[in-house]
Amino acid sequence: MAVAQRKTDGSLLKRDYASLMADYGDLNSFDLLDVMINKEFRDNIALVSSFGAESIVLLDMVAQVNPAVPVIFLNTRKLFGETIRYRDQVAEQLGLSNIITVNPDAENIAAEDKNGLLWTRDTDACCDLRKVRPLALAMNEYGAWITGRKRFQTTDRGNIPLIEQDGSKIKINPLAHWNQEELDRIIENKGLPKHPLIAQGYPSIGCMPCTIRVEAGQDRRMGRWSGQNKTECGIHIGENI
C-alpha cells in the first residue's frame, strides 16, 4: 500500500489522492479512520467537528481509534450555550484529550462585524468571517482532515466520496454513505450522549441566529438558514483550506 508523501510544508502531493482511493476506498468507516489517523497521516490529521446533532457518532469512532487526535471546534461566538457545554461533556465522556477551539480573529470581527449583526445582512460573509477563514488558518498545520458529512444531508453532498482532494489537503468523509436511520440506531444502541437541543426540536444545529426549530416529519436541515437559498456554511465549498 502506498504511503502518502508530504511536501516540505506538510501538505500532500495531489497524486497521492488516487493511490489512497485505490488502497482504502472500500474500507468500512472504522478501519478507514484507523489507517488514516494511525498510519497515512499520523500526527498530520485533524477531525473538524461542530459537536452538532449527529457529531457524536464520528467523535465516538475517533475516540476509539486514537483519543489524542486533534479535534478542531469552531467557536463562532454565535453558538448555542448548549453546544459549548455538550462539547465539554462529550470530550470528557469519550476521553478526547486534544480539543482545539478555534475562534474568529478579533481584529477582523471589529472591522467587519462590530455590532455582531452581519448575519442579518449577509450570512455568507458572516460564515466566511467566523468559520471559513479561521478554519483555513487552523488547518495550516495539517495535511488532511476528517469531516462528518453525509450524502443524504443535502443535494450538494449527494456524491461525496470517502476520500477526496480539497485544495492542498486530503479530506476524509468516513460517514459519507451512512443514512439517518443508521446514525440514530448506533446512538441508541451505544447510549451515546445526545445534544440537548435535539429534544427541543433542533435536529440540525449550527449558530444560534441561523438555526430554528423543525416540526416533526420535516427535513432535518430545514432549520438551518431558513428561508434562504443556502445549505452550506462555506468550509466545504471550493478550495478554502
Can 233 be counted among the known catalytic residues?
A: yes
The single-letter code of the amino acid at 191 is G
User: Which grid cell is 40?
Assistant: 497515512
Q: How far apart are CA 60 and CA 96, in angstroms?
A: 9
**Which is the catalytic residue, given 126, 127, 210, 233?**
233
Q: How far apart are CA 126 and CA 120, in angstroms?
A: 9
User: Which grid cell is 43?
Assistant: 500526527
The single-letter code of the amino acid at 230 is K
Contacts of 130 (CB under 8 A, 6+ apart): 74, 76, 77, 78, 104, 109, 113, 207
Q: How far apart are CA 137 and CA 105, in angstroms?
A: 10
- Paired with 171 in beta bridges are 145, 164
Q: How far apart are CA 210 and CA 191, in angstroms?
A: 29
Q: How far apart are CA 138 and CA 117, in angstroms?
A: 25
Strand order in the sheet with 99-102: 99-102, 71-74, 45-48, 144-146, 169-172, 163-166
3-state SS, residue 48: strand
Query: Which of the residues are catalytic?
Result: 233
